[in-house]
Amino acid sequence: MSAKQLEQVAQATKTAFVFPGQGSQKVGMLAELAEQFSSVTETFAEASAAVGFDLWQIAQSGEGLNQTEFTQPVLLTASIALWRVWLELGGVAPKYLAGHSLGEYSALVAAGAMSLGDAVKLVNLRGKLMQDAVPEGQGAMAAILGFDDAQVIELCAQASAAGQGNVEAANFNAQGQVVIAGDKAAVEAVMAAAKEQSGKAIALPVSVPSHCSLMKPAADKFAQALEHTAIELPGLPVIQNVNAEIATDVAGLRQALTAQLYQSVQWTKTMQFLLDQGVEYVVECGPGNVLANLAKRLPNINKAFPLDTKSRMEDALNAILVAEGKIA
């Protein structure tokens, strides 16, 4: 289905697609669906040819799967494989698309803004630059639970001012759930302060402190690659991470993708945008169900579905086709 056809079909729907970011990878992802749909392995073969190594082998064996430079192209490819199966089965074209961090690239590919081949090369480079930006062991990320956004920002400011390094709010994921990132000692200081104030703090098993100012050198280098990548305005509206707005020009889209590396992911505002636009159904197009679970917590979201197994794909297809009035 062309981007123009998707746009026309999507206008009347109340469904949004969301694409997950790093952390959703799992060994053996999409293996069950690949047995039934050749488009899954064909999508992985297409992406592997572009990036120069076997993404399906990494996804199935787990070898290198948690290395950022490999994780990112594998996850993007898995998301696009699921998107293609959804369309192949006659799934509803969503009214809006959004992706969490890396997932923004999956959303842009699905919306026709860039090719799969170009996108996997970009995110492979993105992963390398992110990994190189901060020496291993010096950065960290943690989830802070039980505080509002302003409180977490203040905790970060206090820890940074104390001279133990820099720490910032990296992902505003939901009310009462904010991920922080920065220098390891500063992140640990915020975690300790949160626990002292009866909150929760969970260290995340990541090697790169994403979406904070430590990624600015990586962003400067990445901007050059973006300038040499063919990008068009999406055929379906894609909500940007950095401002929870829809890009209106390609230059702005490139700037937002660059800024995304070192600025916060505005996921709470993104989901509020979807609510404000009348979205009632959310489909998570990627391995796992993290974003679907976050969506279920929101008012007016009637259903949220993951797609990463045969049964989940069937449940989502049938429920949304009925909900959207496509079948009785």
**57 and 85 assigned to the same domain:** yes
Kindly state whether residues 173 and 304 are assigned to the same domain. no
Q: Which residues are catalytic?
A: 101, 211
* Same-domain check for residues 159 and 308: no
Task: Return the CATH number at 196.
Answer: 3.30.70.250
Q: Output the pLDDT for position 187.
A: 97
Token pair belonging to 289: 């169900």
**Lowest-confidence region among 34-38, 195-199, 207-211:** 207-211
Residues ≥6 apart with Cβ < 8 Å to 290: 20, 23, 24, 284
| Residues 78 and 59 reside in one and the same domain | yes
Amino acid 52: pLDDT: 97
Using pLDDT thresholds of 50, 70 and 90, give the confidence band for residue 11: low
What confidence category does residue 162 fall into, taking pLDDT thresholds of 50, 70 and 90?
very high
Determine how many CB atoms are found less than 10 A away from the CB of residue 36.
11
pLDDT for residue 4 is more than 80: no
> Is residue 328, in this structure, part of any structural domain at all?
no
The predicted structure's pLDDT at residue 13? 81
Give the C-alpha separation, 20 to 99, whole Å.
6
Give Cα separations from 298 to 101, 280, 317 (angstroms): 20, 10, 21
Higher pLDDT among residues 323 and 10, named by residue: 323
Looking at the fold, whether 176 and 97 belong to one and the same domain comes out as no
Q: Is the pLDDT of residue 9 over 50?
A: no
| DSSP secondary structure of 259-297 | HHTTS-B-HHHHHHHHHHTT--EEEE-SSSSHHHHHHHT
> Is the per-residue pLDDT at 245 higher than 60?
yes
Kindly give, in sequence order, each residue whose CB lies less than 8 Å from that of residue 62, ignoring residues fewer than 6 positions away.
27, 28
Tell me: pLDDT of 6 over 60: no
DSSP 8-state code for residue 190 = H
Q: Are residues 110 and 190 in the same domain?
A: no
CATH of residue 290's domain is 3.40.366.10
Say which residue, 326 or 286, is predicted with more confidence. Answer: 286
Q: Is the pLDDT of residue 189 over 50?
A: yes
- Give residue 2's pLDDT: 53
Distance CA 55, CA 308 (A): 17
| Same domain assignment for residues 109 and 242 | yes
d(CA 183, CA 58): 30
Domain that holds residue 295: 3-133+214-323
For the residues 288-309, what does the mean pLDDT come to?
Answer: 91
Q: What is the pLDDT of residue 195?
A: 97
Q: Is it the case that residue 1 has pLDDT exceeding 60?
A: no
Domain match, 128 and 144 both: no
94 burial level (CB within 10 Å; 0-12, 13-18, 19+): buried
Residues 171 and 219 in one domain: no
| Residues composing the chain | 328
> Where does a domain end: 155, 190, 206?
206
Confidence (pLDDT) at 3: 53
Q: Is the pLDDT of residue 8 over 60?
A: no
pLDDT tens per residue across span 117-142: 999 999 999 999 999 999 988 999 99
Residue 77 covered by a domain: yes
Residue where a domain terminates, one of 206, 232, 254 = 206
Q: For the chain, how far is it from start to end, CA to CA, in angstroms?
A: 24
What pLDDT score was predicted for residue 248?
87
Task: Give the model's pLDDT for residue 327.
Answer: 64
Q: Is residue 55's pLDDT more than 70?
A: yes
Residues 258 and 147 in one domain: no
Count the Cβ atoms, other than its own, within 10 Å of residue 147: 20
**Judgement on whether residues 226 and 298 belong to the same structural domain of the protein:** yes
Average pLDDT, the chain: 93
- Percentage of the chain with pLDDT > 70? 96
Among residues 156, 176, 206, which one ends one of the domains?
206
Q: Quick one: pLDDT at residue 300?
A: 83
pLDDT-based confidence at 260, cuts 50/70/90? very high
Q: What is the mean pLDDT of residues 99-113?
A: 97
Residues 147 and 118 in one domain: no
How much is the average pLDDT of 162-169? 94
Q: What is the DSSP string of 105-173?
A: HHHHHHTTSS-HHHHHHHHHHHHHHHHHHS-TTSEEEEEEESS-HHHHHHHHHHHHHTTS--EEEEEEE
pTM of this prediction exceeds 0.75: yes
Q: Could you give the CA distance from residue 283 to residue 96 in angstroms, rounded to a whole number?
A: 11
Give the CA diameter of the chain: 62
Confidence tier at 251 by pLDDT (50, 70, 90): very high
Give the chain's domain count.
2
- Measured distance CA(284)–CA(308) in Å, rounded: 9
State the average pLDDT over residues 303-325: 90
- 15 located within any domain: yes
